[in-house]
Amino acid sequence: MKHARPFVLALGLTVGCALKGDVRRVELQVEALRVERARADSQHVLAVDSVRTLLAAVQERLAAQQAYLVQLRGDVKTDLLAVQQQLVSVQELTGQSQQRLTELRGRLEEQARQPVPVLDTSRGGAGVPVGPSGNPAGPGPEQMYDLAYQQYRASRYGTARLGFREFLRLFPTNERAPDALYFIGESLAGENADSAAAVYQQVVKTYPTSPRAPAALYKLGFLAEQRGNKAGARTYYARVIADYPRAPEANLARDKLQRLGR
């Protein structure tokens, strides 16, 4: 029995030491778990803050987009109203142009029903239409040109063309003939570039010494440039400078050539 007691005491000490070691390990594991949990909570807070920041940015962006859409709807509504007003104006102008055209045609038809005038060549020039009494029949060249030019200035291009063509038919050699032909081209420039170019070519060919010839050449270069034909534009601008170096259009042509590159 005396030998058994020390053994029991030793065993108890061993077991006690083992229990303390296990408790320590458990404490360390608990502490590690606590630290890990704290780290996870911190990361969760950061993630939540990031999500909140992102949501705030998205809400701000949505609010801005909504405000933009509201403004856009207002602008579109305003533009549509402006377009409607422009359409009404165009319709009114079209009606006025049609009325002017009808009036001009009526006047021309009325003149056509009158006796055919003879040309009075005693005054020189190409002659002026005169009636049986010897007085000028119908409007003279200046009056007819001015009427057509007034239509052109009022942007009634169809009516203006009729007037200029009638002027050229009656007074083909009048000093204003190059102007009349040139303005026919001008009236076509915004509607049909090919037709306008053909008229400008006719101005240069028919009236090469007229001040309208360099203007028509320059306009041919401008139309070619608008079409993206830089080589053709350079050719026309160069012709303006070579054939009409003192014309105002020559300086404009030089500027165009510099921009296009020779």
Which one has a higher pLDDT value, 222 or 82?
222
pLDDT at 100: 64
pLDDT 10s digits, 129-180: 444 444 445 578 999 999 999 999 999 999 999 999 999 999 999 999 999 9
For residue 212, pLDDT beyond 60: yes
How many percent of the chain have pLDDT more than 90?
44
Q: Is 156 left (phi over 0), alpha (psi -120 to 50) or beta?
A: beta
pLDDT at 138: 59
**Alpha carbon separation from 96 to 82, 159, 161, 190 (Å, rounded):** 21, 10, 16, 19
For residue 9, pLDDT beyond 90: no
pLDDT 10s digits, 92-116: 555 555 666 666 666 655 554 554 4
